[in-house]
Every structure is written in structure tokens, then in C-alpha cells.
Amino acid sequence: MKKQGFDSEKYLSMQSARIEERIKEFGGKLYLEFGGKLFDDFHAARVLPGFAPDNKIKMLEKLKDRAEIVIVISAQDIAKNKVRADLGITYDADVLRLIGIFRSYGLFVGSVVLSKFTEDNEPAINFQRRLESMGMPVYRHYNIKGYPSNVAHIVSDEGYGKNEYIKTSRNLVVVTAPGPGSGKMATCLSQLYHEYRRGQKAGYAKYETFPVWNLPLMHPVNVAYEAATADLDDVNMIDPWHLAAYNESTVNYNRDVEIFPVLNATFEKLMGKSPYRSPTDMGVNMVGYCIEDDAVCCEASHQEIIRRYYKALVNEIKHHKESTESDKIAQLMQRLGISVDDRAVSVAARKRAEEKNCPAAAIELPDGRIVTGRTTDLFGCSAAMILNALKTLAGIDDEVKLIDRRCIEPVQELKTKYLGGKNPRLHVDEMLVALSSSAATNPTARLAMEQLPKLADCEAHTTVILSHIDEKMVRQLRVRHTAEPVYRDKTIYHE
């Protein structure tokens, strides 16, 4: 059983109370920018063991009679088919998924905003048509020349004034998005401009889980966030506005610090005076008050940073990119004094590969035991690892054959002789289908199959980049997988 480092119940209570306070402070409508993932915040769950991925939406459930959700998606991300790495789906597909999830919790989704919209973006236009055919209101927001430095132009009819006004009906408007850089803050500020032009009171607050403002700048939890956003060039930093106003060091990140003059100017122009003296003042995040075991969270964050490093290396190999992202994460690792050798499964997988001179994999079970697997004539290394892990969890001797070779060979023949495949070995999904077939008549195979839920959140590593099929299946099993940045057919291994 993994140790917990975060108190979710305390968090839900403190966070909902803090948002209620902020609504009262403005006395009208509050636009609350939700950073990070609202429903499935797996990053937070990984670096803060005990944080439930759906904590935020549970907290919103308490406010659902007053809340309305606006989802922002960048039209540029639609055109680029940007993918959520943790789910393997595009941002536009995720918008549809989120709408369904929010509604299943009884939350009202009022509209979708296409930010950074241009009239020649045909994929974004098609997505708008699709949403509107479903009865979902869609609004267009545009790129603003000089954003974010030309404040006078931004806070004008030619700036925010050009954006379409989002019609809302409740006093808590939660603005969220499929991922970072979608334009949530700009959407909130644009709405403030339009609200005050209409003579309506409104306020803005930011709910960003990371970086955690009341943890040190180089705390591993904050560094893990910087590693997670290395592709966006985000940088954690001491909030200079807060330091000047209160002589107190708090942590924020560069985009909020850069945009703060715009927010201040917007408030001053609309209200005569800004209610905030710093980007930290804008926030309502209570995460830092709910860490109950700092050491556990630090170790979890170290592992997240190493995972991000491996992910960056593989992504750079796959897409022939420069090593900019992995180099940045490597520097963060060096500053914390950690390396890939601090990831136990990567050490175990590499050792197994060297011993057998073939691709290998390793997985750490919930009780800390490490199980390995290697490429054979029947299975790929990831399929062998999963099968061996299920045996171990079920207490089945390693010598027991759960799937008869006579059942595997016809599948291999089908793949290579009739379907034109080159790799006869069973992938993870094919191995699991074969195992489930055996389970129909073999109680031992059924016992092994029943262990599958226990693989969730286990750490795993392979010495080669997985095929798309295996990668998808490992993700579906919720295994936290990393890989060496090496393709199987370009390695020194002999199969």
C-alpha cells in the first residue's frame, strides 16, 4: 500500500469555502479561471499521493446550483490536432468528453469559446458547426495585436471589445479548458470588459493548483509542475509584485506575472481601482495547506520529473525534435540532485535487458516488489511483464503456463500469414484476450486476470519504445509507463 501525502477531505472543505469567500468579496458575478485539469487531474494525483483526480469536480458539485461552466479551446490547437498526452485524444475530442462528464455530475455547461480564432481556420469552423448542431452555444475570440503588452489597445473596443460577448446566467462562471495555453485568462478578462460596459458588476479569480504559491520555489512539487510544462516554456518564479507589496516571497509562474499589468489595467479602467496587488492575490488555491506528509510528496514529485524526462526524450525521437524540452528537464533534475537511476523500474529493466540481450520491461507492484519481463518468441516485453505481474499478484508460480502455446501459435499465424504483420509476438491486448479465453476453463488463469485492477498507478519501464498498440493498452491499464528513447528494430538486441 503506497503512503499518502495529501489530505483530500481537508482540501475539499477548505477549497470550497475559499471560493465562496471570493464570490462574496465581489458581490456580483465571479469569473473563476480553473487551471489544470478540472476532472481528471492525474498530475496532481501523482505528485500529491492522496489527491483524487476528480477532487476539483467534487468540490464544484457543492456549488453546482450557482455555477456554470465555459470551456475554452484554442482554434490553433484544433487545427494542429493537438493531443492530450495522458489520454491520447485530441483537444477537440476532449471538449466533447468534458461536456458529457460535467453534465453527468449535474453541472451546467453554458458554452464553448474558440480562442485565437481566425476566419481561415476551417477545422475550427467545422468544430463550431458540430457543437452548434448539438445545441451548444459557441463564441469566437480573436488574437489581439500587441497582447499582452499594449494595455491601452487590449482594454478597448478594438481589443477585448472585438471578442464576442459570452452570455452567462449564473453568478459563478467556471472557465476551464482541455489543456494549458488555451486562453482561459484572456477569456475571463474579455468578459469583465464586456460586463462593465453593460453596467454589470463582475470579478475575476484564479484557481491554479500549480505552482503551489506557499511552497518554496525549488520544492519538488513545484519543480514537477515546471517539468510538466517544459514544452510551453513556463518558468516558476518568485512573484515580484507580491514581494514588493507585502515583503513576502510566494511562487507564481511567468505567464501570470507577465499578464498581471493587463489585469490591473483592466480593473483600474473598469472599477477605478484594482482589488489585487499581485498575481498571488488573484489565486484561491489551498493545496499547500493540505499536504500532510511532505517527504512522500517530494519523492512522488521526483518520480514525476523523471517520467517527464523520459517522455520528452521519446517524444523528441519520435518527432525528430531538438532536445530543448529534455535538456530543460535534465537541468531541473540536476538542481534537485536526482537522475534516471532513482527510478527503480528503469534500473531493473535495463539490468534485465543486459542479462538477456533483448528488450525488457519492469513493473513495481503496490507492495514494492519489482517484476520483469523480456521479449520471447511468444510475447513482446510489455506483454510478458504484464503477464508475470499478474502471476505474482495472484501468487501463481512463475513456471505455471497460463496460456497454452497451442492457443498462441494460431494467433501468430493469423497475424503474419493472413494479416500481413511482421511481428508474430503477442501485444498486450492480444495476450489479455488469450488469457481471458483460458480463464473460461482454467481457474488459475481467471485468478490471474482478476488481478488486473491492481496494476493501476504501478510504475513501469521498458528498454524500447512501445508500439502504439502496447502504449495504448498500458495507458488503459493506468500503468505509469516510461521507456528508453530507442526503437526496437534499431537496437543492438538480437531477437
Which pLDDT belongs to residue 495? 37
Domain annotation covers residue 22: yes
Cell triple for 180 = 494549458
The range of the structural domain enclosing residue 74 comes to 8-291
**Is the C-alpha dihedral spanning 390, 392, 395, 401 positive or negative?**
positive
Residues 28 and 157 placed together within one structural domain of the fold: yes
247 and 376 inside one domain = no
Q: What is the rounded CA–CA span in Å between residue 459 and residue 231? A: 23
187 and 278 in a single domain? The answer is: yes
Are residues 232 and 126 located together in one domain of the fold?
Answer: yes
- 10 Å CB burial of residue 233 (0-12, 13-18, 19+) is exposed
Per the document, the length of the chain is 495
Report the candidate in 273, 253, 264, 31 with the shortest Cα–Cα distance to residue 148.
264
CB proximity list for 15: less than 8 A, separation 6 or greater: 59, 284, 285, 286
End position of a domain, from candidates 275, 291, 307: 291
Strands 89-90 and 83-84, by their bridges, are antiparallel
- Domain assignment present for 3: no
360 lies in the same domain as 247: no
What CATH code is carried by the domain that includes residue 356? 3.40.140.40
The reply to whether 296 falls in a domain is no
Residue 168's pLDDT is 96
Residue 403 lies in a domain: yes
Question: Is 310 inside any structural domain?
Answer: no
Shared domain check, 282 and 208:
yes
What is residue 494's predicted lDDT score, i.e. its pLDDT? 34
Q: Which cell goes with 463?
A: 528498454
Side-chain half-sphere CA neighbours of 379 within 13 A: 26
Question: Rounded to an integer, what distance in angstroms lies between the CA atom of residue 80 and that of residue 103?
Answer: 27
Number of domains making up the chain: 2
The Cα–Cα gap between 435 and 439 comes to 6
Asked whether residue 151 is assigned to any structural domain, the reply reads yes
> Both 377 and 441 in a single domain?
yes
Mean pLDDT by 10 residues, the chain (495 residues): 90 92 89 84 94 90 91 96 85 95 94 97 98 98 87 89 96 92 91 92 91 96 94 89 96 88 83 91 95 98 98 94 95 97 98 96 97 96 97 95 90 88 91 94 96 97 95 95 87 39
- Cβ count near 315 (within 10 Å): 15
Q: Which residue, of 291, 314, 334, is where some domain finishes?
A: 291
371 and 230 in one domain?
no
Same domain, 388 and 285: no
Q: Both 410 and 480 in a single domain?
A: yes
Is residue 333, in this structure, part of any structural domain at all? no
DSSP 166: P
* Rounded Cα gap, residues 142 and 147, in angstroms: 11
Burial of 335 (0-12, 13-18, 19+ CB in 10 A): exposed
Is residue 300, in this structure, part of any structural domain at all? no
CATH number at residue 191: 3.10.630.10
Indicate whether 213 and 351 sit together in one domain: no
Q: Hey, what's the cell of 60?
A: 464544484
Give Cβ neighbours of residue 297 (< 8 Å, ≥ 6 apart).
Answer: 5, 6, 47, 48, 49, 220, 221, 291
What pLDDT shows up at residue 490?
A: 52
Give dist(CA 455, CA 390) in Å, integer: 8
Q: Reply yes or no: is the peptide bond before residue 178 cis, omega within 30 of 0.
A: no
**What pLDDT, on a 0 to 100 scale, did the predictor assign at position 397?**
95
Q: Which of 291, 307, 334 is the last residue of a domain?
A: 291
> Strand runs (DSSP E) across 106-148, as ranges?
108-117, 138-142
Whether residue 142 is found in the same domain as residue 42: yes
